[in-house]
Copies of this chain bind each other. A is one copy, B any other.
């Protein structure tokens, strides 16, 4: 049996593994109705690592990722913090931040970076966002590095006003005024 569908199979294999990375060679062989050895050769020629490596990659990715996206107190990497005055953070836009079609970052990630920075710059037990007035001034693309700077404009007993500006290089991509409340 000569399969001139080799090319087709290899394309489908690549696509399949992208959507379902947790399939063994044996399961893949069944799906494509070829031998396990053929799948191995395909993987080899396509540079697709073995199942256990694929699982590890997913695990590793997310072991860091979920932490940094959801479980840390600040979205992005906090690189400077002068409580009640100034804070700076960096966020690198990865595939998880963008619209799949356009590769443009979703607004709420920029908001999240700025909001968490505005909250963390204030020195109080509990700080919550009250109001925010934000402008998205330029599109942010996959791979760009957002540098966000929060400056405390007004700091009273129960509330503070924080101005946040986010840049990519010299371009301002986001500006926001946050009014945050301090609870005892």
Residues of A whose CB lies within 8 Å of any CB of B are 21-22, 52, 55-56, 58-63, 65-66, 69-71, 73, 75, 96-97, 99-102, 104, 106-108, 111-112, 115-116, 119, 126, 128-136, 139
Contact = CB atoms under 8 A, between A and B. Distances in A.
Nearest to A104: B128
Contact of A107 (B71, B107, B115, B139): B115
Nearest to A99: B73
Nearest to A139: B128
Closest 6 CB pairs of A and B: A62-B62, A108-B112, A107-B129, A58-B59, A59-B59, A70-B96
Contacts of A21: 63
Contacts of A73: 99
11 contacts: A22-B60, A22-B63, A61-B62, A65-B66, A70-B96, A70-B97, A102-B126, A107-B128, A107-B132, A131-B135, A133-B134
A168 to B, nearest CB: 15
Q: Which of A59, A63, A101 counts the most chain B CB atoms within 10 A?
A: A59
Contact of A71 (B63, B96, B104, B108): B96
Contact of A58 (B63, B69, B99): B63
Contact of A59 (B62, B71, B119, B133): B62
A33 to B, nearest CB: 27
B75 A108 contact: yes
Contacts of A112: 106, 108, 111-112
A62 B66 contact: yes
Contacts of A106: 112, 115-116
Contacts of A104: 126, 128
Contacts of A75: 108
